[in-house]
Structure 1
Amino acid sequence: MRTLFVTYPEDSNVKGMVSLAWALGAAGHDVAVAGHPESAEFVRKAGLTAVPLGRDHVMWHYMRRRPHLAAADRSSASPFYTKGDGPDSELTWEHLGEHFGTLVDWEYRMINDPLLKELVDFCQEWSPDLVIWESTTVAGAIAAEACGAAHGRMTWAMDFKGRYRERYVALKEERPQDDRPDRFQEWVTRQAARFGVEFREELTTGEFTIDQLPETFRLPSSRAVLPMRFVPYNGAAELPRWILEPSERPRVCLTLGATFADRVGAPLANAQELLSALEGLDAEVIATFGKEQRAGLIDRVPENVRLVDFVPFHAVFPHCDAVVHHGGIGVFSTAMVNGVPQVILPEVYDTPARARRLEDGGAGLVVSGGEGLGARIREALERVLSEPAFAKGAAELRAEAETMSLPGELVPLLQEHVHAHRSKGAMAV
């Protein structure tokens, strides 16, 4: 079975696909990963075959020059994200229409338009049996249908986009025939028609969805969902020997992430404030700060803090008693599958919703931004380290994740889908 993964160049998006791509390769299938030229570096580092196509998108450059868009991606400022896991009554026709209009203008078009033509050409030449596309890169769905391949969507967070789309389609059916504007469908229809593909709803959300979050974080959907256990991949790394040394104090990892801050020039928190607040805490703090975050450090580093550029989280978290972080899906999921309690400072995309559900399950605490952030993070961390209920909640969440299929166990299901797709096509002929 020849499988093509399609993504846009974000480190976390590529890393989220690696475990399944490896599983397919280990099962003897032919695997490649297509995307904008910038994505090739991420793919090659994972030991996978990269297919750079089209030209790099300019979405992040666009957002840097328009700070109001970067601010809108911070969930506290954006109703698009604050309502993502709310009741249906809050997902109104007007709200969703505005949401899809905005996403078409500055996300879907910017990411997909530079990639689509060459992606379709490549698919028609390489003839994949299956295309698995990252949830924003709908060019993968169009290219799959243009070459007759089966296709599915792979999410990297809570599936707000899938839920929003399903809700919008339901609301559209309730409206008069002459009053059903749908910016997303209109854009997809135009792009698909260029290659002789007719619109169908599967072009927006796939024939199935691969979801790497356990049931606790999943949203209601009538679509086919294939749950897959998250398997951490942090890129090329070396195991620091010091992490294996016994610690007399609890060990905490502190990371603020880098992707969003680097892309739009909007740091999520003040690194110096956080380090200063943790001074004197009865814990060994491993602080992973990038160059820009280090540049903001103006005081000395506290005695109980080990400042490092990078540590492989999958190797370090099993030796930690808590993780303090920004809610990024890679850090969040790696801590989850290792059963480590979390203190989360959520701001962008779905992080507030995931953090809230984590806290509700007793596996950690949420700390909102604002004045006195450092002191409030310290207070939350002291609770997480001293109250056994948090370790118990984190262990229960890990146990829930372990009930999900491993990537290798998903491979036969994907083969069955491809076989059914071929049979359906043969019957149509």
Structure 2
Amino acid sequence: MARFLFVVPPFVGHINPTISVGDTLAARGHAVAWVGTADPLARLLPREAQRFLLDRADEDQLFPGLRSRFQSVRGFQNLKLMWDEVFIPMARLMLPGVLAAAERYRPDVLVSDQQTIAGALAARRLGLRWATSATTPADRVRALEAFPKVLAWTEERLADLQREVGLDPVSVPEDSPSLVLSFTTEALAGVDARTDRQYRYVGPALGRRPDETAFPWDKLRSVPKVLVSLGTLNAERGGPFFERIKQALADLPIQVILVAPESFGPFPENFIVQPWVPQLKLLPAVDLLLSHAGSNTVCEALALALPVVVVPITDGQPVVAQQVADSGCGLRLSFKRSNSGAIRTAVERALTEPGFRAAAARIRESFEVAGGAPRAADLLESLAADQVC
């Protein structure tokens, strides 16, 4: 039996794949635990799961005022904000707790999310075998290729951070040199697929995932249904976009399930609005996903051969959005510039033109071949036995 410790950020889409992989490892007799903040781990993990909860309880404590600042920045400044006020500070805040958890738990393998740099730093500090959980195929270097000044700035900040904790700087400290689990496939990644030996494309991890989030299932109607979600950090900044969504879809013969704060109302009669939804349970009941191009959410939809409309906002989302468009699985819109007419047209096309669903079915087949959570567990077991090559 081996021991695996997952280090995760407070982002739902980054935690979810680790739950499926962890469940697979536990079913094989291994010990599994997580390190992260109380919310959303308390809401997402199985009740029996071992967890090491960090002192700072939620995103607002980790990133005070971040949501409001997201409202006013775009492009270059948006990317800089993510690194300057999310990823780098999160590494500093989490590192003491991750080190303490790892020293107490003594894992054979530490699995660090690509955005939870504290996990990578802790593994190197303690000399542990470690792997990277890559929930988006857009690694930092490729995501920032169009912004060379931001890329150079992140390299400097990450080098400073490594020196600060007593480590010699490496160029991509978030990526394990032994194993990077990419929860997509080369069929979807296309030209963005990495060929480095440690990158393994396992497809989305969609195994058993307990989720007790309440949802009004009795309100679902027998009409085409569209799930609209902008992800963990973006809902608060979605006000103007949600207004366009309401204008675009209010009079269509469809039902819209919108993940958003109810304070953005009032909403049309054909809308169900919830701050959270049990996404994996809900997706089989809908006909289309409209999202921020978060890789985990997009892959969950494509695993059901659902077409998608994507409106990328920040970080690696533009890369994922372009992969969706290039693969024919859906349509790409601008989060800032697309008006209600463009949104309406995209939704109507994605619901009615069969080519999008056919392309999504092809990607679904690639997911099935890749192996998902069982394949990821195989690779982690091999790493624990020092056999990954």
> Please, what TM-score do these two structures have when normalized by structure 2?
0.82
Contact 1:25 1:31 in 2 (8 A): yes
Higher Cα Rg, which structure: 1
Shift of the alpha carbon at 1:112? 1.5
Query: In structure 2, what is the equivalent of residue 63 of structure 1?
Result: 66
Query: In structure 2, what is the equivalent of residue 85 of structure 1?
Result: none
Query: In structure 2, what is the equivalent of residue 394 of structure 1?
Result: 360
Q: Against the structure 1 CA distance between its residues 306 and 64, is the aligned structure 2 distance closer, same or farther, given a 3 Å change threshold?
A: closer
Query: In structure 1, what is the equivalent of residue 234 of structure 2?
Result: 261
Query: In structure 2, what is the equivalent of residue 409 of structure 1?
Result: 375
Query: In structure 1, what is the equivalent of residue 199 of structure 2?
Result: 225
Decide which moves more: 382-391 or 216-225.
Answer: 216-225
| 1:158-237 paired onto structure 2 within 5 Å | 158-161=137-140, 163=142, 182-191=156-165, 193=166, 198-200=168-170, 203-207=173-177, 208-215=179-186, 216-217=188-189, 218-232=192-206, 233=209, 235-237=211-213
Query: In structure 1, what is the equivalent of residue 329 of structure 2?
Result: 363
Shift of the alpha carbon at 1:373? 1.9
Query: In structure 1, what is the equivalent of residue 76 of structure 2?
Result: 78
Decide which moves more: 336-345 or 385-394.
Answer: 385-394
Q: 2:112 aligns with which of 127, 130, 133?
A: 133
Shift of the alpha carbon at 1:391? 1.6
What is the CA–CA distance in structure 2 between the aligned matches of 1:104 and 1:242, rounded to whole Å?
42
Q: Does structure 1 residue 146 correspond to structure 2 residue 125?
A: yes
Amino acid across the alignment from 1:235: D
Shift of the alpha carbon at 1:16? 2.9
Q: Which runs of 5+ in 2 are unaligned?
A: none
Amino acid across the alignment from 1:236: E
Provide Cα deviations, 1:28-87, integer angstroms capped at 9, x if missing partner: 11111012454542454565211023546755315357x3x6655x4xx23886xxxxxx
Query: In structure 1, what is the equivalent of residue 246 of structure 2?
Result: 275
Q: Does structure 1 residue 295 correspond to structure 2 residue 274?
A: no
What is the CA–CA distance in structure 1 between the aligned matches of 2:366 and 2:308, rounded to whole Å?
16
Q: Against the structure 1 CA distance between its residues 412 and 332, is the aligned structure 2 distance closer, same or farther, given a 3 Å change threshold?
A: closer
Contact 1:261 1:268 in 2 (8 A): no
Q: Does structure 1 residue 420 correspond to structure 2 residue 386?
A: yes
Query: In structure 2, what is the equivalent of residue 11 of structure 1?
Result: 12
Shift of the alpha carbon at 1:209? 0.8
Amino acid across the alignment from 2:346: A
Contact 1:46 1:236 in 2 (8 A): no
Amino acid across the alignment from 2:289: V
Contact 2:13 2:297 in 1 (8 A): no
| 1:42-53 paired onto structure 2 within 5 Å | 42=43, 44=45, 47-53=48-54
What is the CA–CA distance in structure 2 between the aligned matches of 1:349 and 1:325, rounded to whole Å?
14
Contact 1:39 1:52 in 2 (8 A): no
| 1:79-158 paired onto structure 2 within 5 Å | 105-158=84-137
What is the CA–CA distance in structure 2 between the aligned matches of 1:108 and 1:306, rounded to whole Å?
34
Decide which moves more: 345-354 or 209-218.
Answer: 345-354
Contact 2:14 2:296 in 1 (8 A): no
What is the CA–CA distance in structure 2 between the aligned matches of 1:2 and 1:367, rounded to whole Å?
43
Helix, strand or coil: the match of 1:420?
Answer: coil
| 1:16-55 paired onto structure 2 within 5 Å | 16-38=17-39, 40-42=41-43, 44=45, 47-55=48-56
> Please, what TM-score do these two structures have when normalized by structure 1?
0.75
What is the CA–CA distance in structure 2 between the aligned matches of 1:35 and 1:71, rounded to whole Å?
28
Contact 2:181 2:376 in 1 (8 A): no
Shift of the alpha carbon at 1:388? 1.6
Shift of the alpha carbon at 1:375? 1.6
What is the CA–CA distance in structure 1 between the aligned matches of 2:196 and 2:78, rounded to whole Å?
21
Query: In structure 1, what is the equivalent of residue 272 of structure 2?
Result: 307
Shift of the alpha carbon at 1:116? 1.6
Instruction: State the superposition RMSD in angstroms.
Output: 3.5
What is the CA–CA distance in structure 2 between the aligned matches of 1:167 and 1:188, rounded to whole Å?
25
Contact 1:210 1:228 in 2 (8 A): yes
What is the CA–CA distance in structure 2 between the aligned matches of 1:164 and 1:372, rounded to whole Å?
22
What is the CA–CA distance in structure 1 between the aligned matches of 2:373 and 2:362, rounded to whole Å?
21
Q: Against the structure 1 CA distance between its residues 280 and 45, is the aligned structure 2 distance closer, same or farther, given a 3 Å change threshold?
A: same
Q: Which runs of 5+ in 1 are unaligned?
A: 82-98, 173-180, 425-429
